[in-house]
Structure 1
């Protein structure tokens, strides 16, 4: 194996920020109601069976509730929903859904104005470093025609 120098975490963060990413809010149900967080490390895994991978902080509240619920939704935010990006990233976890329109589908909260939403049941979860890769089998999906919210270099863009 080749020796590799470890990069400074902040330098790595700056480099990865240059890659445009869709902004998603991953949602599930908790004992007191809907729970969710902003996530940009989301990707489709396969078509047969339809599945996605979501990377969440291993000690995070949303991940704990996803494990308990056994299901979650990935909501790709529309440009018009850009204020939700920060709210679900750093806002008070107990108040993130305050005033946010959502519906229940398959037992999990869904943001109806999202560009796309997929509802999943957990198929597997793999802890890797400080994150957990949650593999979800897609139970349903929806898509709309709204312009999407994309992040690049910490700035929000309409796509």
Structure 2
């Protein structure tokens, strides 16, 4: 077996920045208090059973609150929700102070104005370097709007124009 190549972390991040992603906010209730974080590592995993996944930094205090709750709601952000993405990406911010929401079927916050929402229970958590990979079993979902998605590309937010 050959020796793995050394990869510079800054270069790795810069190269991966050339891959555009959608932006979601993952929310939950931690002992009755709403919590959430911005995520661009969200993906579908399986249709049968319906599974989704996202990655969260091991050091994230928000993830440390979501994991024991056992539930989460994925809120797919619209192109006009950059401010929402930014507040949920800012440590220590009052994330729900100016963001309207209603409870999803699990009770996790469903953010007003999102394109769609996916309500889940945590099915599995796997180690992934400095992150953890959370696999969620979809319990309920819905579409709210038909507008364009918020996109993250090369360190910035933007819109998708077909």
Give the TM bin, normalised by the shorter chain.
over 0.9
The equivalent of 1:30 in structure 2 is 30
What's the CA shift for 1:21?
0.5
The equivalent of 1:111 in structure 2 is 111
What's the CA shift for 1:157?
1.4
Pairing of 1:30-49 with structure 2 (within 5 A): 30-31=30-31, 33-49=33-49
**Post-superposition CA distance 1:2-50 (Å, at most 9, x none):** 3231210000000111100001111101236210111101100000000
Gaps of 5+ in 2: none
The equivalent of 1:154 in structure 2 is 155
Distance in 2 between residues matched to 1:32 and 1:98, nearest whole Å = 16
Distance in 1 between residues matched to 2:91 and 2:96, nearest whole Å = 10
Distance in 1 between residues matched to 2:112 and 2:43, nearest whole Å = 20
What's the CA shift for 1:59?
2.2
Contact 2:27–2:35, Cα closer than 8 Å, also in 1: yes
Distance in 2 between residues matched to 1:2 and 1:20, nearest whole Å = 31
Contact 1:27–1:62, Cα closer than 8 Å, also in 2: no
What's the CA shift for 1:155?
2.2
Q: If each structure's helix is expressed as a fraction of its own residues, which one has the higher value?
A: 1
Gaps of 5+ in 1: none
The equivalent of 2:95 in structure 1 is 96
